[in-house]
């Protein structure tokens, strides 16, 4: 190896790159390290934000569970007031005013249930549906359609399409059972 070759190797990098190329590569490396640090910072911030969202959502769910019935209870308070009034004045009131008070209280209660999407099932005359009705008895009827609801013993209720309580009914007996 000649002196000129050695001089060229000393001024060049180990892979034959010139000093200008080395500086450019170092600058690119520093820039890449800076971008990596920025990306790491962004990832850490996103993870922290996600953790905050999870905590906030958990807190919101806890609050929703804790206060879910608040609106319903507020709607039922006038019903309670009406019943308390009936109890305190019941001994002094006549039957007509008691009946009127009970009717008004029942209207308040039905209105409160209606506001919360509670639907009353009153299947009088409808075909018997074992998914929504509970048969208490079967009875012969010359006028009713077989397997239809002849009498409603107790109304049923649904909440947002979900059965809370089936309607208890008496079903008209079909001709094959007579």
Regarding predicted confidence, which is higher, 16 or 141?
141
Same domain, 108 and 161: no
What is the residue range of 86's domain? 69-116
CB-based contact 149:171 (threshold 8 Å): yes
Among left, alpha and beta (phi > 0; psi -120 to 50; other), residue 157 is: beta
The yes-or-no verdict on residue 168 having pLDDT over 90 is: yes
Return the pLDDT at 10.
46
Mark which of 29, 47, 67 sits at the end of a domain: 67
Rounded-to-integer distance, Cα 10 and Cα 120, Å: 95
CA 70, distance to chain mean position in Å, is 16
Same domain, 178 and 121: yes
Element (H, E) at 168: strand 167-172
Same domain, 83 and 129: no
Same domain, 143 and 158: yes
Q: How confident is the model at residue 153 (pLDDT cuts 50, 70, 90)?
A: very high
Residue of 103, 107, 171 whose CA lies nearest to 141: 171
Q: What is the CATH number of the domain that holds 166?
A: 2.30.22.10
Same domain, 121 and 178: yes
Close Cβ partners of 161 (under 8 Å, ≥ 6 residues apart): none
CB-based contact 122:128 (threshold 8 Å): no
Element (H, E) at 56: helix 19-67
Same domain, 122 and 97: no
Same domain, 9 and 50: yes
Please state the domain count of the chain: 3
Percent of the chain scoring above 70 in pLDDT: 89
Return the pLDDT at 178.
46
Give the DSSP letter of residue 148: B
pLDDT tens sequence across 28-74:
999 999 999 999 999 999 999 999 999 999 999 988 888 888 888 88
Same domain, 83 and 109: yes
Return the pLDDT at 20.
87
pLDDT tens sequence across 64-94:
888 888 888 888 899 999 888 888 887 788 8
Rounded-to-integer distance, Cα 5 and Cα 79, Å: 103
Return the pLDDT at 83.
87
The yes-or-no verdict on residue 174 having pLDDT over 80 is: no
Same domain, 75 and 39: no
């Amino acid at each position: 190896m000649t002196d000129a070759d050695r001089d060229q190797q000393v001024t060049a990098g180990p892979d034959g790159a010139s000093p200008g190329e080395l500086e450019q590569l170092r600058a690119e490396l520093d820039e890449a390290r800076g971008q990596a640090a920025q990306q790491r910072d962004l990832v850490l911030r996103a993870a922290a934000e996600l953790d905050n969202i999870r905590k906030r959502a958990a807190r919101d769910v806890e609050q929703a569970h804790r206060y879910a019935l608040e609106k319903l209870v507020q709607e039922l308070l006038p019903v309670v007031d009406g019943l308390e009034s009936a109890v305190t004045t019941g001994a002094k009131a006549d039957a007509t005013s008691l009946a009127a008070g009970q009717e008004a209280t029942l209207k308040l209660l039905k209105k409160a249930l209606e506001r919360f999407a509670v639907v009353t099932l009153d299947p009088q005359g409808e075909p018997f549906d074992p998914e929504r009705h509970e048969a208490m008895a079967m009875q012969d009827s010359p006028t009713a359609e077989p397997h239809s609801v002849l009498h409603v013993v107790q109304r049923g209720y649904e909440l947002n399409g979900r059965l809370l309580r089936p309607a208890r009914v008496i079903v008209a007996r079909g001709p094959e059972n007579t």
